[in-house]
Amino acid sequence: MLLHLSTWLEVETYLEQSKGIILPIGSTEQHGPTGLIGTDAICAEAIAKGVGETTQALVAPTINVGMALHHTAFPGSISLKPSTLISLIRDYLTSLTKAGFTKFFFINGHGGNMATLKAAFSETYAVLAELNLPNADRVQCKLANWFMCGSVYQLAKELYGSQEGSHATPSEVALTQYVYPDAIKQAPLSAEVAAGYPIYGAVDFRRRYPDGRMGSNPALATPEHGQQFYERAVKELSQSYLEFLAQD
């Protein structure tokens, strides 16, 4: 059940049986010479939709732009500052908590969002409590990174070994190929790829990772792989969502 394809009456009915909602969050950032700029949002959205179907959960619209400041020296990347993303999450959850939601399950497609999201959850719990919202002390957020699912990680290792890398990875590229088979890109990929540098500012990042990849070989990706990743992530996160709901 997709929130943007529902009416408020349907949401009112939904709330009678569940206080849970799934919020997909991605990023709009370079993903190497062949990866789509929307990769992280595409993956999060597709998987969230799958989890929603599997579990009958409501799925919010995708947060397409996240915390990707370190990618902004590559054109096409868009990022919120962490302080802005914290305000955004606070506003989303304030709106939804007022309506009666208390279980927020974020399906995340971007490693760079993790720290800020966790900070945002802490800030939001405190703000909701200060505003004396009913049920504020029952609000719970869970961060579910599809790329960190055990079954996903296992498959990536089997298929790509060390060529999985850590950004513009064949696994995420494969998933976008499965979702958007018409948008599979070709571009020369040097065999040698930078890897292992820590991440600091945007200019520094581009200096170290000149084509945007971090140790990955996205040429290994196929739509068929993508389907497998999709199915594993949906299965594992559906289970995770149901456990989250069941938790006190």
Using CB under 8 A as the binding rule, the residues of this chain from 39 to 58 that contact its own copies are 41-42
Burial of residue 71 (CB within 10 Å: 0-12, 13-18, 19+) is buried
The one among 50, 109, 170, 212 contacting its own copies by CB under 8 A: 212
Measure the CA–CA gap between 208 and 205, rounded to whole angstroms: 5
Q: Does residue 108 sit in helix, strand or coil?
A: strand
Restricting to residues 7-26, which ones interact with its own copies according to CB under 8 A?
7-12, 15
Q: Considering CB under 8 A, how many residues would be counted as binding its own copies?
A: 95
40: left (phi over 0), alpha (psi -120 to 50) or beta: alpha
Count of CA atoms in the C-beta half-sphere (13 A) of 169: 27
* 116 contacts 85 by C-beta, under 8 angstroms: yes
The verdict on 242 binding its own copies (CB under 8 A) reads no
The one among 56, 157, 183, 224 contacting its own copies by CB under 8 A: 183
Sign of CA dihedral 122, 240, 52, 17: negative
* 65 contacts 110 by C-beta, under 8 angstroms: no
The one among 18, 54, 140, 240 contacting its own copies by CB under 8 A: 140
For its own copies, the closer of residues 97 and 232 by Cβ is 97
The one among 148, 185, 222, 239 contacting its own copies by CB under 8 A: 185
Q: Does residue 220 sit in helix, strand or coil?
A: helix
- Give strand pairing partners of 59: 2, 22
The one among 55, 72, 217, 228 contacting its own copies by CB under 8 A: 72
The one among 22, 46, 48, 62 contacting its own copies by CB under 8 A: 62
The verdict on 240 binding its own copies (CB under 8 A) reads no
The verdict on 181 binding its own copies (CB under 8 A) reads no
The verdict on 108 binding its own copies (CB under 8 A) reads no
Stretch touching its own copies by CB under 8 A, among 48-56, 75-83, 157-165, 233-241: 75-83
Six-digit token pair at 71?
Answer: 């990618």
DSSP letter at 74 equals S
Restricting to residues 142-171, which ones interact with its own copies according to CB under 8 A?
142
The verdict on 61 binding its own copies (CB under 8 A) reads yes
The verdict on 180 binding its own copies (CB under 8 A) reads yes
The verdict on 223 binding its own copies (CB under 8 A) reads no
For its own copies, the closer of residues 158 and 248 by Cβ is 248
Measure the CA–CA gap between 178 and 89, rounded to whole angstroms: 29
What end-to-end distance do the CA atoms of the chain give, in Å?
24
The verdict on 196 binding its own copies (CB under 8 A) reads no
